């Protein structure tokens, strides 16, 4: 069965700091990988996705993620965070028909 | 607006009552998912439809839970004899998939269930 691990439960950063959120998954076959963001009081929205090709994918709002197959990882990065990035971030994996999510990382950006 | 609609947005019910939630996916999407999310947790997979066929059910989905997608369009999730532990946000998502691949899932706003 698929599983997804997000290592950081809550991350607190100051504006302009760099961000890296870890995501590891467990699945033996080909996977599609996603990062979703949930702003306070809003629904889940897609940040970026990886299906195939270049393992470094760029998403909206300056986010990017790198798929490292050998490490079963798909870490999310942003060079300089903004206060408006305060939200909960979820890594998700589709290795078959359904989609599984990690527990999420809450990011708080202090102005 | 993502295009996935869920109704109602909030539901408060007494323990032991039955509740039913509705999800209207994006019209051309053939895949529909139900998830449950509690505070501080990621969405937990409940069940999944491809068109009208329910292809997978999580062990989280006890006998009190049933989901349908009768015409391959909207879906309903019913919880019978609700318990306080059923209190959560119930999320619906849809995607377009062929074979073993899919597009990203688009989520609705969710239905927040409170069992008192």
Residue B47, beta-bridge partner list: B34, B57
Instruction: Tell me how far apart the alpha carbons of residues A89 and A101 are, in angstroms, rounded to a whole number.
Output: 10
At A60 the pLDDT is 92
Question: What digits encode the pLDDT tens for the residues A86-98?
Answer: 999 999 998 766 7
Percent with pLDDT over 90 in chain A: 75
Contacts of B30 (CB under 8 A, 6+ apart): B50, B51, B72, B96, B97
Residue A65, beta-bridge partner list: A57, A76
* C-alpha gyration radius of chain B: 13
Using the predicted structure, report yes or no on whether residue A43 has a pLDDT greater than 90: no
At B56 the pLDDT is 84
pLDDT band at residue A7 using 50, 70 and 90 as cut-offs: confident
Percent with pLDDT over 70 in chain A: 97
Instruction: Tell me how far apart the alpha carbons of residues A67 and B104 are, in angstroms, rounded to a whole number.
Output: 17
Q: Closest approach of chain B CAs to the CA of A75, in angstroms?
A: 17
Contact between A25 and A87 (Cβ < 8 Å): no
Angstrom CA distances, A41 to A38, A86, B44, B109, stand at: 8, 12, 19, 9
Q: Closest approach of chain A CAs to the CA of B81, in angstroms?
A: 27
At A61 the pLDDT is 94
Residue B113: CB atoms within 10 A of its CB come to 21
pLDDT band at residue A77 using 50, 70 and 90 as cut-offs: very high
At B41 the pLDDT is 85
Contact between A74 and A50 (Cβ < 8 Å): yes
The token duo for B55 is: 């292809």
| Contacting residues of A for B100, CB less than 8 Å apart | 30, 96-97
Handedness of CA A107, A45, A60, A8 (dihedral sign): positive
Are residues B45 and A51, on separate chains, in Cβ contact within 8 Å?
A: no
pLDDT, tens digit only, all 116 positions of chain B: 459 999 999 999 999 999 999 999 999 899 999 999 998 889 999 999 999 999 888 887 889 999 999 988 999 999 999 999 999 999 999 988 766 556 788 999 999 999 99
Instruction: Tell me how far apart the alpha carbons of residues B8 and B29 are, in angstroms, rounded to a whole number.
Output: 21
Q: Which residue is closest to A106 within chain B, CA to CA?
A: B40
């Amino acid at each position: 069965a698929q599983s997804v691990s997000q290592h950081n439960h809550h991350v607190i950063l100051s504006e302009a700091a760099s961000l890296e959120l870890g995501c590891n998954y467990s699945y033996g076959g080909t996977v599609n990988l996603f990062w979703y963001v949930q702003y306070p009081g809003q629904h889940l929205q897609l940040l970026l996705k990886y299906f195939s090709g270049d393992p470094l994918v760029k998403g909206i709002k300056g986010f990017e993620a790198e798929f490292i197959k050998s490490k079963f990882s798909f870490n999310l990065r942003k060079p300089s965070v903004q206060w408006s990035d305060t939200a909960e971030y979820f890594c998700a994996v589709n290795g078959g028909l359904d989609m599984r999510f990690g527990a999420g990382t809450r990011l708080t950006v202090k102005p | 607006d993502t295009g996935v609609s869920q109704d109602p947005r909030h539901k408060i019910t007494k323990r032991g009552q039955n509740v039913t939630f509705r999800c209207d996916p994006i019209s051309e999407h053939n895949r529909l998912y139900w998830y449950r999310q509690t505070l501080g947790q990621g969405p937990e997979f409940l069940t999944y439809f491809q068109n009208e066929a329910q292809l997978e059910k999580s062990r989280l989905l006890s006998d009190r839970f049933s989901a349908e997608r009768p015409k391959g369009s909207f879906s309903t999730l019913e919880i019978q004899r609700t318990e306080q532990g059923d209190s959560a946000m119930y999320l619906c998502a849809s995607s377009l998939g062929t074979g073993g691949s899919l597009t990203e899932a688009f989520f609705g706003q969710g239905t927040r269930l409170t069992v008192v």
